Structure 1
Amino acid sequence: FSPIQRVNYKIEETRVGRLTNYDKLILEVWTDGTMTPKEATVSAAKTLVSYFNQIVSPKKVEKKEVKEEADVIGPMGKLSVEEIGLPTRVANALVKAGYETVEELAKAKKEDLVKVRNLGEKSIKIITVALVEKGVKFGE
């Protein structure tokens, strides 16, 4: 919805008293009749003033606390390692080592997983791929 149909403007040099370095803005505004040209100009000016006020004196924005890692991982964090499509041998090794949920697994470093019994480089690649497919960052 825009009641403004057409606008022309013209800037002319003007004089105030003895000073001649001023400009005059001449606006021609055509509307569809739902509001007068003066009302439209006043409304536009108020909008501009509110925008420029944000530049001159911006509102203070409160800093939000950093979300916990569980929030970053999202709903996937609550899934057990058996539910993310890992081979049974890999899932069992993770559970025996104390990594029962995706959240716990995502917090682990790759160096820690290498030390887990029955997990080698190939198993860690499988884990990484499974987590990435679920949208979870791993090993950072």
Structure 2
Amino acid sequence: MTRNFLLGLVAAGLLFSGTSRATQLITEEEAKLPPPKGAVAADRRGILRGPKVEFVSPGESVASPLKLHLKFESFGGAKIDPESVKVIFLRTPNVDLTPRIKPFVQADGINIQDAELPPGDYTMRVDIKDSDGRPGTAIFTLKVAPK
């Protein structure tokens, strides 16, 4: 009974504390890191039916906090493996955002209602795999306007 009571308190605390805070996707310090040197490679050679990542929103430059929505699509009866999703902020050095977005990953995509980022342009890479082990990658740029 004590364990269930403690778990209930922890769950209630998370419920009430998480509703009013935006999700810090990129910090001020990370935003100041230098951009990657050279071209950004996305290897898709020989992958015919790998999963697809589609950048849905936001559109053009928007102020933070913003809605970040990515859609996943698989082919040939395969399913997206949510545990395989990785999100990298392409900088020098790269910043792994995966732990920050994990709570928002579903088999059909990523949906963050209130992603917090400083103003600027942010190039991201999303890597996924399907249940057949085929990889998929997308690279996109978020443009965050000043408030």
TM-score normalised over the length of structure 1: 0.21
Bigger share in helix: 1
TM-score normalised over the length of structure 2: 0.20
Compare CA radii of gyration and give the structure with the larger one. Answer: 1
Bigger share in strand: 2
Higher relative contact order by CA 8 Å / sep ≥ 6: 1 or 2? 2
